[in-house]
């Protein structure tokens, strides 16, 4: 397959995942701002930092407010990672590789773009946010459903899936990092009902609240929640799950092309690191530091994939 086609599929599904996860990040910020005892604007600044767009936001807005932060993350064309920008980029990549997609996968992508273009044509009031976030999750889910149900399990499928899980791992790490930045007003609050409510919102934002309850019987401890979203291989948005799937899809590509690349070793080492760690060691070292290291490692894997499969070549 041409490197340009592999690149288009990889990024199409990265952008679809990014749109959904940016919406989830907004949801995390909204939920936690409603339970906070301190400055809501500083919390939204923390969300912007965790999403990696704080500098770009500062170039376009005079001050951090909840309305400005939501607008920048949701619909601002000046932010290439906004929900609307990501969906438009996904559609553009899909159009470029149209012949590599089934009709159903393309139509679901196009419908998502048209619906979001209308829905996000104006600034969104805070009261409307939950319904809009649900719509974004619904339409991106329809794209994945159409794709899974109709695509052959070939290299096209594998590049698309790798893009999905690279992006999902990045965003799960960033959503967890929001909690790190949302510092409580005093150390006495750590482990309190307020602290627990804020951690619970993380689970709700990644649609893992009920699943967590099945595993931990509703015992909301920060270490348990971090363990669930980092190390639990059965949780489909955990870092460990994402890297298990990335390794599997890279193995399929190795068999299909008959060649192994260094990225396979890098991805395997990342999965091995996640399997060998225990959550208490991560918490003792520092959750923020661990997540920042993981985000850097995940970016390295993405770059090595692009190099190995010549994404910049026809």
For the chain, the domains span: 3-308
Tell me how crowded residue 62 is: count the other CB atoms within 10 A of its CB.
7
Q: Tens digit of pLDDT for each residue in 299-309? A: 999 999 999 99
What stretch of H or E contains 224?
A: helix 222-230
Distance, CA of 228 to CA of 235 (rounded, Å) = 7
Distance, CA of 160 to CA of 299 (rounded, Å) = 17
Q: Tens digit of pLDDT for each residue in 86-112? A: 999 999 999 999 999 999 999 999 999
Distance, CA of 44 to CA of 181 (rounded, Å) = 10
What's the residue count for the chain? 314
The confidence score (pLDDT) of residue 313 equals: 62
Distance, CA of 249 to CA of 83 (rounded, Å) = 27
Distance, CA of 115 to CA of 131 (rounded, Å) = 14
Contact (CB, 8 A) for 243 and 274: yes
Distance, CA of 18 to CA of 222 (rounded, Å) = 25
Contact (CB, 8 A) for 165 and 246: yes
Distance, CA of 311 to CA of 14 (rounded, Å) = 14
- What's the whole-number average pLDDT of the chain? 89
Q: Tens digit of pLDDT for each residue in 217-243? A: 877 788 888 899 999 999 999 999 999
Distance, C-alpha 29 to centroid of its chain: 14
3-state class (DSSP) for residue 174: helix
Locate tokens 């048209």: which residue? 114
Model confidence at 28, pLDDT cuts 50, 70, 90, reads: confident
Contact (CB, 8 A) for 220 and 200: yes
Predicted TM-score of the model (pTM): 0.89
Q: Tens digit of pLDDT for each residue in 163-208? A: 999 999 999 998 888 766 543 444 444 445 555 666 777 787 788 8
> How large is the average pLDDT for residues 67-76?
94
What percentage of residues in the chain have a pLDDT greater than 70? 91
Distance, CA of 150 to CA of 128 (rounded, Å) = 34
> How large is the average pLDDT for residues 16-22?
94
Tell me which of 67-76, 119-128, 170-179 is least confident: 170-179
pLDDT at residue 117 tops 50: yes
- Comparing C-alpha atoms, which of 207, 266, 215, 274 is closest to residue 240? 274
- Comparing C-alpha atoms, which of 110, 98, 102, 144 is closest to residue 4? 98
């Amino acid at each position: 397959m041409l490197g340009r086609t592999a690149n288009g599929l990889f990024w199409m599904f990265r952008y679809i995942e990014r749109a959904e996860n940016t919406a989830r990040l907004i949801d995390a910020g909204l939920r936690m701002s409603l339970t906070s005892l301190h400055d809501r604007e500083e919390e939204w600044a923390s969300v912007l930092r965790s999403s990696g767009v704080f500098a770009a936001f500062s170039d376009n807005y005079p001050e951090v407010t909840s309305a400005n932060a939501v607008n920048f993350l949701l619909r601002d064309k000046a932010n290439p990672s906004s929900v609307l920008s990501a969906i438009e980029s996904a559609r553009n990549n899909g159009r470029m590789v149209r012949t590599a997609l089934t009709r159903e996968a393309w139509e679901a992508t196009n419908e998502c773009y048209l619906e979001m273009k209308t829905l996000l044509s104006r600034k969104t009031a805070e009261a409307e946010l939950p319904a809009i976030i649900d719509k974004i999750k619904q339409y991106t889910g329809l794209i994945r459903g159409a794709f899974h149900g109709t695509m052959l399990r070939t290299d096209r499928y594998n590049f698309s899936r790798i893009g999905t899980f690279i992006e999902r791992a990045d965003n799960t790490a960033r959503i967890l990092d929001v909690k790190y930045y949302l510092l409580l007003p005093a150390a006495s609050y750590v482990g309190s009902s307020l602290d627990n409510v804020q951690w619970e919102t993380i689970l709700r934002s990644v649609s893992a609240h009920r699943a967590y309850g099945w595993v931990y019987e509703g015992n909301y401890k920060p270490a348990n929640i971090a363990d669930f979203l980092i190390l639990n291989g059965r949780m489909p948005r955990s870092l460990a799950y994402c890297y298990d799937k990335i390794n599997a899809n890279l193995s399929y590509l190795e068999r299909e092309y008959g060649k192994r690349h260094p990225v396979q070793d890098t991805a395997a080492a990342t999965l091995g690191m996640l399997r060998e760690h225990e959550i208490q060691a991560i918490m003792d070292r520092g959750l923020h530091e661990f997540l920042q290291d993981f985000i850097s490692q995940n970016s390295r894997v993405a770059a090595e994939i692009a190099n190995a499969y010549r994404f910049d070549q026809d």
